[in-house]
């Protein structure tokens, strides 16, 4: 329950606080700072797994970031290999210098295959890809022989130096550039200097959190420091040196509190979508289960047992001490006689009069009287009087029978006799079994039709209804500027 005094105090404070717009902008600024920190954390966390992609689109930034914050430097084996290849492409292929470079590259190729410098960076697959490309280009099954053939003067003169340079620059050099060496710190772990960036953010977060906790502690006198820290528990995730991805939680909370990201509307939409899906599925399961239970009941001969052996019916708890079935039948009969039949009496008399007249018109006496002057209206009046008296007598008899105990007893005996006769007739033939089979088949058709209807109509109908309810609910929301309550000015 909301405390009225506290509510009025909040309203007064909001009305008289001139610094509220400034506080709201400070909230948004801090939310953006937290978001920026989260983005940097994501970049740092994904740098090693996605370094090849970063190197393709941001080569200079990727190399600088890896060297500055990850202790990454070019591997001496692959870097020396690229340097020797560059010198060869710049030298004259027929000079003694090029022959020495080719010999050096053949030796370095053997070293590349034997030592696998890609292993430390977890890029052994790059070496296998490199060997595959060289074998395919040279046309041999041996990787070592493919490198030796490629780095020979005779082969380069055969295919042309320009073609060899184009192949090396396009297929080989990018794979060698992706390899790197990452140093380790004094604890034997890979170098990670992201703390140099994160430390500035943590300092700013500490000041912000301290001000918020101080405000909450002095605003609510009955709280202690432990309570206010629990109040802002999600901000503590900003100071974790490990599992930095958990900072997504305070980021989302801050963006929602500042009104920069409509989390509640998104949450409502997702919740409605999930609830709609499960509602449809649950309804389908329940309905199908009920139909299957009814089918099992019919296939096991339950209907026959119920009709032919009424004494074997399942017992149930009688709460009121009243035979509800008999009382419902009495109420329906009373309603039919005293309310329905009087309203239908003119229509019943018209139908009976038409039927009686149609029968009498087939009699020669009736046709003769209808043609005689002076008495031609007599047959019509007689049929009307006869129908009116008959309906009046029948209706009066029904009313008397329902109001008279003896009539009620005779009616009950008639119903019992009809039930016994029906059961007797069902025992003598296979009618009950045929009825059970027909009902089971009918339920199967209903079940199949219901499933198809669910799959085709109900899901879309529920989605439309939920979308309509969502729009109505959104229309009732306050704007973030009016509804949001900053932690600095309002808990």
Query: What does the pLDDT look like over 61-70, one tens digit per residue?
Result: 998 999 999 9
- Please report the pLDDT score of residue 388 as a whole number: 73
Percentage of the chain surpassing pLDDT 70? 62
pTM score above 0.75: no
- Please report the pLDDT score of residue 37 as a whole number: 93
The pLDDT of 449-476, averaged and rounded, is: 56
Q: Are 298 and 439 in contact (CB under 8 A)?
A: yes
Residue 26 — φ and ψ, nearest 5°? -65, -40
Range 189-196 contact pairs with CB under 8 angstroms and sequence separation of 24 or more: 190/70, 190/71, 191/70, 191/71, 192/69, 192/70, 192/71, 193/68, 193/69, 193/70, 193/71, 194/44, 194/69, 195/241, 196/69
Helix axis angle, 459-475 to 263-299, nearest 10° = 150
The pLDDT of 232-239, averaged and rounded, is: 88
pLDDT category at 207 given cuts 50, 70, 90 is very high
Would you give the end-to-end CA distance of the chain in angstroms? 16
- Please report the pLDDT score of residue 450 as a whole number: 63
For residue 296, is pLDDT > 70? yes
For residue 31, is pLDDT > 70? yes
Closest CA to 254 of 490, 32, 483, 21: 32
Tens-place pLDDT, residues 352-404: 767 766 666 666 655 565 555 544 555 566 667 766 777 777 767 667 766 66
pLDDT category at 35 given cuts 50, 70, 90 is very high
Q: Tell which wins on pLDDT, 303 or 217.
A: 217
The pLDDT of 143-151, averaged and rounded, is: 93
- Please report the pLDDT score of residue 362 as a whole number: 62
Percentage of the chain surpassing pLDDT 90? 21
Residue 333 — φ and ψ, nearest 5°? -65, -45
Residue 73 — φ and ψ, nearest 5°? -140, 160
The pLDDT of 437-443, averaged and rounded, is: 76
- Please report the pLDDT score of residue 472 as a whole number: 57
Question: Measured between alpha carbons, how far is 101 from 95 in angstroms, rounded to an integer?
Answer: 10
Give the H or E element holding residue 466: helix 459-475
Q: Is 181 helix (H, G, I), strand (E, B) or coil?
A: strand
Dihedral sign of CA atoms 356, 359, 361, 366 in order: negative
pLDDT category at 487 given cuts 50, 70, 90 is very low
Tens-place pLDDT, residues 244-268: 889 998 988 888 888 787 766 665 6
- Please report the pLDDT score of residue 155 as a whole number: 93
- Please report the pLDDT score of residue 331 as a whole number: 73
The pLDDT of 119-139, averaged and rounded, is: 90
Question: Measured between alpha carbons, how far is 455 from 28 in angstroms, rounded to an integer?
Answer: 45
Question: Measured between alpha carbons, how far is 201 from 208 in angstroms, rounded to an integer?
Answer: 11
Four-point Cα dihedral 36, 38, 43, 49, nearest 10: -170
For residue 270, is pLDDT > 90? no
- Please report the pLDDT score of residue 218 as a whole number: 80
Query: For the ranges 201-210, 408-417, 423-432, 474-483, which has the lowest average pLDDT?
Result: 474-483
For residue 78, is pLDDT > 70? yes
For residue 283, is pLDDT > 80? no
- Please report the pLDDT score of residue 212 as a whole number: 86
- Please report the pLDDT score of residue 443 as a whole number: 75
- Please report the pLDDT score of residue 309 as a whole number: 61
Q: Are 268 and 470 in contact (CB under 8 A)?
A: yes
DSSP 8-state class, residue 190:
B
Q: Tell which wins on pLDDT, 284 or 320.
A: 284
Closest CA to 387 of 443, 342, 348: 348
Q: Is 243 helix (H, G, I), strand (E, B) or coil?
A: coil
For residue 322, is pLDDT > 90? no
Most confident of 45-49, 333-337, 482-486: 45-49
For residue 484, is pLDDT > 50? no
List strand residue ranges (DSSP E) for 57-213, in order: 72-73, 181-182
- Please report the pLDDT score of residue 418 as a whole number: 66
- Please report the pLDDT score of residue 380 as a whole number: 62
- Please report the pLDDT score of residue 491 as a whole number: 37
pLDDT category at 107 given cuts 50, 70, 90 is very high
Closest CA to 112 of 149, 73, 75: 75
- Please report the pLDDT score of residue 44 as a whole number: 92
For residue 481, is pLDDT > 90? no
Query: Rounded to an integer, what is the distance from CA 227 to the centroid of its chain?
Result: 35
- Please report the pLDDT score of residue 33 as a whole number: 93
Four-point Cα dihedral 366, 371, 375, 380, nearest 10: 50
Q: Tell which wins on pLDDT, 113 or 230.
A: 113
- Token reading at 86: 């560059």
- Please report the pLDDT score of residue 359 as a whole number: 61
DSSP 8-state class, residue 238:
G
- Please report the pLDDT score of residue 129 as a whole number: 93
The pLDDT of 170-184, averaged and rounded, is: 90
């Amino acid at each position: 329950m909301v405390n009225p005094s506290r509510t009025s105090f909040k309203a007064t404070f909001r009305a008289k606080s001139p610094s509220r717009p400034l506080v709201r902008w400070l909230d948004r600024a801090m939310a953006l700072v937290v978001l920026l920190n989260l983005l940097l954390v994501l970049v740092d966390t994904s740098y090693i797994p996605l370094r090849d992609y970063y190197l393709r689109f941001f080569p200079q930034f990727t190399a600088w970031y890896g060297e500055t914050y990850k202790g990454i430097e070019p591997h001496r084996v692959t870097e020396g290999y690229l340097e020797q290849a560059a010198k060869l492409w710049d030298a004259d292929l027929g000079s003694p210098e090029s022959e020495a470079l080719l010999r050096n590259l053949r030796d370095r190729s053997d070293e590349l295959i034997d030592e696998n410098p890609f292993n430390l960076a977890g890029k052994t697959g790059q070496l296998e890809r490199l060997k595959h490309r060289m074998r395919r280009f040279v046309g041999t099954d041996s990787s070592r022989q493919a490198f030796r053939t490629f780095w020979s003067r005779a082969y380069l003169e055969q295919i042309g130096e320009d073609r060899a340079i184009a192949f090396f620059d396009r297929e080989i050099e990018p794979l060698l550039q992706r390899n790197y060496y990452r140093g380790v710190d004094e604890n034997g772990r890979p170098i990670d200097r992201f703390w140099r960036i994160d430390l500035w953010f943590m300092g700013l977060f500490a000041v912000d959190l301290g001000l918020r906790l101080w405000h909450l502690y002095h605003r609510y006198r009955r709280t202690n420091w432990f309570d206010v820290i629990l109040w802002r528990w999600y901000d503590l995730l900003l100071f974790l040196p490990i599992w930095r991805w958990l900072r997504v939680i305070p980021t989302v909370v801050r963006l929602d509190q500042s009104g920069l990201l409509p989390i509640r509307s998104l949450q409502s939409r997702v919740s409605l979508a999930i609830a709609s899906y499960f509602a449809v599925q649950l309804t389908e399961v329940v309905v199908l289960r009920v139909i299957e239970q009814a089918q099992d009941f019919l296939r096991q001969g339950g209907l026959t047992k119920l009709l032919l052996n009424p004494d074997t019916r399942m017992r149930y708890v009688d709460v009121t001490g009243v035979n509800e079935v008999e009382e419902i039948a009495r109420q329906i009969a009373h309603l039919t006689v005293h309310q329905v039949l009087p309203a239908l009496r003119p229509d019943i008399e018209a139908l009976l009069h038409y039927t009686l007249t149609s029968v009498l018109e087939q009699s020669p006496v009736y046709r003769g009287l209808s043609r005689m002057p002076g008495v031609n209206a007599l047959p019509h009046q007689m049929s009307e009087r006869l129908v009116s008296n008959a309906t009046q007598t029948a209706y009066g008899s029904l009313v008397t029978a329902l109001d008279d105990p003896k009539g009620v007893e005779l009616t009950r005996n008639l119903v019992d006799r009809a039930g016994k006769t029906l059961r007797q007739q069902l025992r003598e033939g296979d009618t009950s079994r045929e009825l059970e089979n027909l009902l089971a088949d009918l339920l199967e058709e209903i079940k199949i039709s219901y499933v198809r209807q669910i799959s085709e109509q109900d899901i879309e109908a529920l989605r439309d209804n939920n979308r309509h309810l969502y729009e109505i609910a959104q229309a009732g929301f306050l704007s973030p500027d009016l509804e949001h309550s900053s932690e600095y000015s309002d808990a």
